[in-house]
A and B are shown apart, each in its own frame.
Chain A
Amino acid sequence: MKQLCVFLTCLTLLDASGQSTLFKNGAQILIEAKDSIFEIENAVVASDEYDFLSNGMHRLSQLCLAKLKSTSRNHPDELQSSKTLTTLAQLATQAWRGSQYADKKKWAGIAKHFRRAFERSTSKFNYTQQVSFRLDLVDNKKKRFYFDKKPGISDLNLYKGKKPRGLTKKEKEELPDPIPLPIMTETQLIDQFVLQIKHRTIISDLKRGKYAFVGLYIHVDDNTLNKNKIPTARVVLVLGARRLRDIRLKKRYYVKE
């Protein structure tokens, strides 16, 4: 953990051109030779708002993994969490922070880094598929909003509507309180998550039981906080599959001793 914290601090000092190098170097240090597999715990999605500023993204990750597990077919393999894939996802969210998440083609070009990093470790699977996207953390229903840097009733300083301008002092006093943008609930976040992976045809493969291992990391994009932007979280999802899943060993009728 300490190692991870030090590493994250260093990340902020690097410029965007070293993103791939950053990912590779991190993979070299942190990827273990042998993978560890964990069961995904069930989690109940609440309808409360998800206060990401105080709670962090850990609970959201758990909810997303639980959703993936409930979606996937348990036969022949039950979906499990892989430490190697989780580490790769984490490194990816830290290495790539920009337009790769929006552009599928750009993301496809990054795939080879995942593959090479993955090949350093010994694991029970030999195929990986990685997707990335952003999750909106605040619900503005695609309507106008504004950012008021003066501290107010909203922690995020984001309010609905248009920012009032050219008001007199008396008008400002009579002005009603601005309406802060509501934070997404857990349910809404999960729905968003499912929609994103649906667009990337992950759901159908999960339902057919193609994947057996998953690594997920969600990281709040600090560049979208305290700005006139909707706060988002970068999500990298890496799925692992067994290539020889469908192989059946048939008995040889003549084996020379």
Chain B
Amino acid sequence: MKYGIPQIFGEIPVAHLTLKDGAINQLESRLAGNKDMTALTLDNISFDDPKKFATSLNRLAQVETLEFKNMTVPSTIDQVTGVKEMKFVYSDFQDIATLKKVKPTIDMLAIGTNITNEEYIGNSKTAKLGDRTEADVNNPVQTKQVERNKVEQRSEPMRLSQTMLDNKVESIVVPTVQKLEVLGDTPCVVKTKSSEIEIPSEAFLSASGEVYTGKVVIEVKEYMDPVLNALSGAPMVFQTSSGNEVFASSGMMDFRAYDDKGNELKPNPASIIQVQMDDLQPAKESQFYTYDETSNNWDLAPMPRPSNFMEKKQEILDSLNLISSEEITGFQVVPIGVFLKYKKSSKDPYQLIFSTNGRSKALKRIRGEAQKVYTSNPEQRWIAKRKTWKIDTLISEEMIQLLTEIKKDQRKTQKYWKKQMGPKYEFAPRIIRDLTIEPNLEQDNYSMTFAYLDSTYRIPVILSLSGSVSQIQAKEKKNFQSFQKEQRIGDKERKAIDKYKAVELEKYAKMRRYMIQSTMQSYPDYGQGAQEYNRFGLTQFGMTNCDYFFRNVPDGYVAFDSTGVDQNGKSVLVPRDVRSIYLDDNAYVSSTSVDIPVYKNRRSILLFLISSIEIAIVKGWEVLSNGFVRPKVERISIEGLTPDEVSRKIMEAGK
């Protein structure tokens, strides 16, 4: 306002006063009479005397929010003490260092304005920012609570065309519609190019709300290609009360179902269709949204469940080294088979008799490549051979049950394996394992131990011997010496196997680990089996996406001239709508030709429509003296091409 603020602003109650495009000396004291004015916005205002301005502002005690927009904030900003909040929107500072002197109780909000000065953001000291990278500077959403003070700095939102903001971008190419027919009352699994859709029975409701069981025509459009997304004008803006967000897509689809008469069907909430869709951005945490065609906006839905193959694969790769050489090579030590019989009598205690089946010769040498080794277990064989053992304790019900179970299992195994493999039991599972005895001098008997199923059992036993005391004691001594000798032979056998495992088998295991690692590392490049995917239920038909927000701040904006030049030197008219496709993020942006966001380090393709059958791919530009740039384009004809062919052509041209 060149000639001061009109008197009327002091009389008419105004809650929010905006002064725009002018210069002022000071805020008139008459504004103090306007008790309802709580917010003051200065939009492109210059100050003749910044000091007077600060003093006059402090007299307006009722003003709580002061906003500077599209202007240079004076250096006397630190003298403003009466407000509660300051906003800086697309502004800069005469002296940014004065910001830190602003009263700490004043909250600050910066939109599109950098208020960071060394270790200060506005008037808030953030000493623990750490290593601040360029990305942090460009994309800071930093909030620091210092006592009662709150400072917030938001990155500049991307400048988008209105059609993009309204989710009404014109469609140049329609994505391929995949049509499938199913029956409404039959569960089935339907596979599309990038998804697997599990349809339970009674998954569809007619318009009246009844379960539809007739023929269903399913139409699926998949938006898995960033180029096709851009060409189809897929809605990619999420409108919120605090601002608009651009989606970067992990996968998007449009699912619709029709009955045999062409009427659209609805999903049955009692029988939800489950979708497993390829995850294009597995490293990102995606949210799940459904599109509301009435409001042209997206609604947040329950999170999809990612498959996390990559994470699991990494865990497997990390754990490979922890797996023993035996497990990785499948090395097996097969002991002899031991079978237990028992005799019972009301007069004598239970007698245990064993028999064995398996290798009898001691292990002498292990072959280098053998993955299965049959051990002779001489000590177990000694216990079993020609020995009758008496149980030296009162027989309990549990023991009787155990012996009965062992007998049954053995009978079953012997019968089955004898039938399959003949009399040799080399491949039969071992019912009783690790049979051994240990003298119990305290009780004057032996503790017989064996493993059955997952448990180890211990039974006190004595050898069934007869004779005088001298004869029995002599026999016991001789038997035990003989047993210990067999134990030593068994120990030698085990030692040989352990040595083999530590030396030879480990070499083979290293090779196996290397082979598995190599295969797994290259695995995602082959076939769809390792594709990461997202799982979600279709609570609503229509468009659904698994997306995250594309919040990368552009490095700058360029303004195209009204004409460009093609590869042949012919001029090309540049339309208002220019689309930028960001290949790494599977995102696109439709902006006006004078506000095209550009990134230095992101793979992107800029294109615009020349005609309904021709697209221009921007290959570069020439900077003009008036600040605009003249784009250099390559013309691409899309007449008669399928959507995939169009995408391929654009990708090739955009390299």
Asked if B371 is at the interface (CB within 8 A of a chain A CB), the reply is: no
Which chain B residues in 485-504 approach chain A with CB under 8 Å?
Answer: 487-488, 491-492, 494-495, 498
Beta-carbon contact of B472 and A243 below 8 Å: yes
Chain B residues positioned under 8 Å from A205 (CB to CB): 468-470
Within 8 Å CB of B394, what residues of A? 120
Decide: A244 near B439, CB < 8 A? Known: A129-B469, A210-B473, A252-B491. yes
Are A243 and B494 interface neighbours, CB within 8 A?
Answer: no
Taking CB atoms, residues of chain B closer than 8 Å to A127 are 469, 472-473
B469, A211: Cβ atoms closer than 8 Å: yes
Q: Are A247's CB and B480's CB within 8 A?
A: yes
User: Whole-angstrom distance between the alpha carbons of A127 and B392 in the complex?
Assistant: 12
Q: Which residues of A contact B442 (CB under 8 A)?
A: 124
What's the nearest-Cβ distance from chain B to residue A156, in Å? 39
A243 to B439, CA, bound (A): 11
Q: Is the interface of A mostly helix, strand, loop or mixed?
A: loop
Assign chain A's interface to a size class. Answer: 20 to 34
B477 CB within 8 Å of chain A: yes
Q: Which residues of B contact A243 (CB under 8 A)?
A: 444-445, 462, 465, 472-473, 476
Question: A210 CA to B487 CA in the complex, in Å?
Answer: 28
Is A255 engaged at the interface, CB distance under 8 Å to the other chain?
yes
A109 to chain B, nearest CB (A): 14
Minimum Cβ distance to chain A for residue B488 (Å): 7
A182 to chain B, nearest CB (A): 38
Chain A residues near B127 (CB-CB < 8 A): none
Q: How far is the CA of A249 from the CA of B476 in the complex (A)?
A: 13
Q: Which of B195-214 contact A (CB under 8 A)?
A: none
Q: Bound state CA distance, A256 and B462, in angstroms?
A: 26
Question: Cβ of A252 and Cβ of B488 under 8 Å apart?
Answer: yes
Q: Which residues of A contact B443 (CB under 8 A)?
A: 122, 124
Pick the residue among A112, A124, A245, A254 that contacts B492 (CB under 8 A): A254
Residues of chain A from 217 to 248 with CB closer than 8 A to chain B in the complex? 239, 241-247
Decide yes or no: A249 and B439 within 8 Å by CB, A125-B444, A241-B473, A243-B473 being known contacts: yes
Contact bitstring A187-217, B, C-beta under 8 A = 1, else 0: 0000000000000000001001011000000
- Quick check: B347 and A116 within 8 Å, CB to CB? yes
Q: Is the CB of A247 within 8 A of B469?
A: no
Chain A residues contacting B439 (CB-CB under 8 Å) are: 244, 247, 249
Q: A126-B462, A244-B439, A247-B477 are in contact. Are A252 and B469 (CB under 8 A)?
A: no
Say yes or no: is B474 at the interface (Cβ < 8 Å to chain A). yes
Given contacts A122-B443, A242-B444, contact A247 B476 (CB under 8 A): yes
Q: How far is the CB of A17 from chain B (nearest CB, A)?
A: 19
Report if B441 contacts A (CB, 8 A). Answer: yes
B484 engages A250 (CB within 8 Å): yes
CB-CB nearest 3 A-B residue pairs: A246-B477, A254-B491, A126-B444
- Chain B residues proximal to chain A, CB less than 8 Å: 347-349, 392-394, 439, 441-445, 462, 465, 468-470, 472-474, 476-477, 480, 484, 487-488, 491-492, 494-495, 498
